Amino acid sequence: MAITLSPAVAELLKRAAGDRDVEAFLADLLAGRLDPPERVELYLRLHEKYLREAEELYRGGDLVQAGERYWGAVTALLNALAKKRGEPHYSHRDYAVLIDRLYRETKDRELVTAFAMAERLHANFYRNFLSPEGFEVHRESALRLVEKLKKLAET
Distance CA 99, CA 132 (A): 27
- Tell me which H or E stretch contains 62: none
Q: What is the pLDDT of residues 76-107, one digit of tens each?
A: 999 999 999 999 887 889 999 999 999 999 99
Look at 62-76, 86-100, 103-117, 136-150 and tell me which has the smallest mean pLDDT. 86-100
Distance CA 26, CA 79 (A): 13
So where are the chain's domains?
20-154
pLDDT in the model for residue 150: 96
Q: What is the pLDDT of residues 5-29, one digit of tens each?
A: 899 998 998 899 887 778 878 877 8
Helices (H), the chain: 7-17, 22-31, 36-59, 63-85, 92-106, 109-127, 132-154
Give the pLDDT mean for 21-43: 83
Fold of the CATH domain 20-154: Four Helix Bundle (Hemerythrin (Met), subunit A) (1.20.120)
